[in-house]
């Protein structure tokens, strides 16, 4: 649940990225609204939404009789933070080494 | 589709921590000063109780150096609507650091903590932002390039990292 594999797998599909783009433009849409933007059966759209939900990229909330879909950017933020931090660490350690080398000579 | 649902933002993060630890990390200043915007929260945790956020000295200095002017003593204010520790917290929220945002109506934040399997909790944050487009843009992280931080997604990512590893990236 919500691990990196699920996020990357969910993002690997163009239809699912399109669904996320739709929610980015306007958040909190119903299945019917999302479906109207796609040349796809209701069942197909539901299947894609389920993959996005399992990856944590979409969160649903009930509002009366309607189920609203919201784009959740936190899983992408987590991947971003972790990777950027990794690169930054390497960057810093490279500079530290350079400094040590320069001071040696 | 009402206007209200369109101006609502929903965030969810899974954290390996107890509901009590997550609750404390949201409601106690010794925790909130360690992640995200580092504001010192001051909650009177009962319906109608005051909610205030004060800047740390470091935040004050940095903000004044970057944006000029003096920060107010209270940078966010609001009122507690519901407090059910450690499961649910609802409070209103108004940002006072920026005149454009301070003029917007109070918005409403709901934190819900659910315990799942394997000592993992889900934390869902719902922010109802009707009539507050400036604040909506800030908390969505749209103004990050202007030094305004990454909004709720960034704050929740840091909160998770802090609770799971005991530190955040910047420390």
DSSP string, chain B: --HHHHTEEEEEEEESS-HHHHHHHHH-HHHHTTSTT--EEEE--STT-EEEEE--HHHHHHHHHHH-SPPPS-SEEEEEEEEETTTEEEEEEEE-SSHHHHTSPPEEEEEEEEE-STT-EEEEEEEE-TT-HHHHHHHTTTTGGGTS--HHHHHHHHHHHHHHHSS-TT-
- Contact criterion met (CB < 8 Å) for B10 and A59: yes
What pLDDT shows up at residue B4? 57
pLDDT value of position A105: 67
Q: Supply the ipTM of this predicted assembly.
A: 0.81
B104 — pLDDT class (breaks 50, 70, 90):
very high
Give the residue-averaged pLDDT of A26-38.
95
Per residue in A76-94, pLDDT (tens digit) is 999 888 777 666 666 666 7
Region B126-136 average pLDDT: 96
Does residue B137 fall inside a structural domain?
A: yes
Q: Mean pLDDT throughout B119-136?
A: 95
Residue B170 lies in a domain: no
Q: Which residues of A touch B111 (CB under 8 A)?
A: none
Please tell me the predicted confidence (pLDDT) of residue A1.
47
Residue B35 has pLDDT above 80, yes or no: yes
Which chain B residues are within 8 Å of A29, Cβ to Cβ? 1
Asked if A63 and B156 come within 8 Å (Cβ–Cβ), the reply is no
Number of structural domains (chain B) is 1
Q: Do B1 and A30 touch (CB under 8 A)?
A: yes
**Chain A stretch 55-94, residues whose beta carbon is closer than 8 A to a beta carbon of chain B:** 56, 59, 61, 63, 68, 70, 72-74, 76-78, 81, 85
Domain definitions of chain A by residue range: 1-72, 74-105
Which residues in chain B are contacts of A92 at CB distance < 8 A?
Answer: none
Q: What is the DSSP code (8-state) at residue A94?
A: H
CB contact under 8 A, A74 and B157: yes
Asked, for residue B31, whether it belongs to a domain, the answer is: yes
Residue B171 lies in a domain: no
Q: Is the pLDDT of residue A102 over 70?
A: yes
What is the pLDDT, as a whole number, of residue B2?
47
CATH at B155? 3.30.530.20
B152 domain-assigned: yes
Q: Give the residue numbers spanning the domain of B79.
A: 3-165
Q: What is the pTM of this model?
A: 0.86
Any CB–CB contact under 8 A between A54 and chain B? no
Residue A34: pLDDT band by 50, 70, 90 thresholds? very high
Task: Tell me if B42 is assigned to some domain.
Answer: yes
Fold of the domain built from segment(s) A1-72? Arc Repressor Mutant, subunit A (1.10.10)
């Amino acid at each position: 649940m919500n691990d990196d594999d699920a996020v990357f797998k969910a993002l690997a599909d163009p239809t699912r990225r399109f669904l996320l783009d739709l929610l980015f433009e306007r958040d909190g849409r119903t299945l019917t609204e999302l479906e109207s933007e796609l040349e796809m059966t209701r069942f197909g759209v539901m299947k894609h939404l389920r993959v996005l939900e399992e990856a944590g990229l979409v969160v649903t909330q009930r509002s009366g009789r309607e189920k609203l879909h919201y784009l959740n950017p936190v899983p992408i933020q987590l991947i971003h933070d972790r990777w950027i931090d990794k690169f930054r660490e390497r960057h810093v350690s490279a500079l530290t080494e350079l400094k040590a080398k320069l001071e040696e000579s | 589709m009402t206007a209200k649902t369109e101006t609502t933002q929903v965030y969810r993060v899974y954290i390996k921590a107890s509901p009590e630890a997550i609750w404390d990390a949201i409601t106690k200043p010794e925790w909130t000063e360690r992640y995200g915007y580092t504001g010192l929260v001051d909650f009177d945790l009962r319906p109608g109780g005051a909610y205030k956020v004060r800047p740390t000295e470091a935040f004050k200095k940095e903000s004044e150096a970057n944006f000029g002017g003096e920060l107010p003593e209270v940078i966010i204010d609001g009122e507690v609507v519901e407090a059910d520790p450690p499961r649910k917290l609802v409070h209103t929220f108004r940002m006072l650091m920026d005149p454009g945002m301070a003029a917007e109506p109070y918005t409403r934040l709901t934190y819900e903590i659910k315990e799942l399997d394997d000592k993992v909790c889900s934390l869902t944050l719902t922010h109802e932002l009707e009539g507050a487009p400036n604040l909506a843009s800030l908390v969505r992280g749209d103004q990050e390039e202007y030094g305004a931080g990454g909004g709720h997604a960034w704050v929740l990512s840091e909160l998770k990292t802090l609770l799971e590893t005991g530190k955040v990236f910047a420390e």
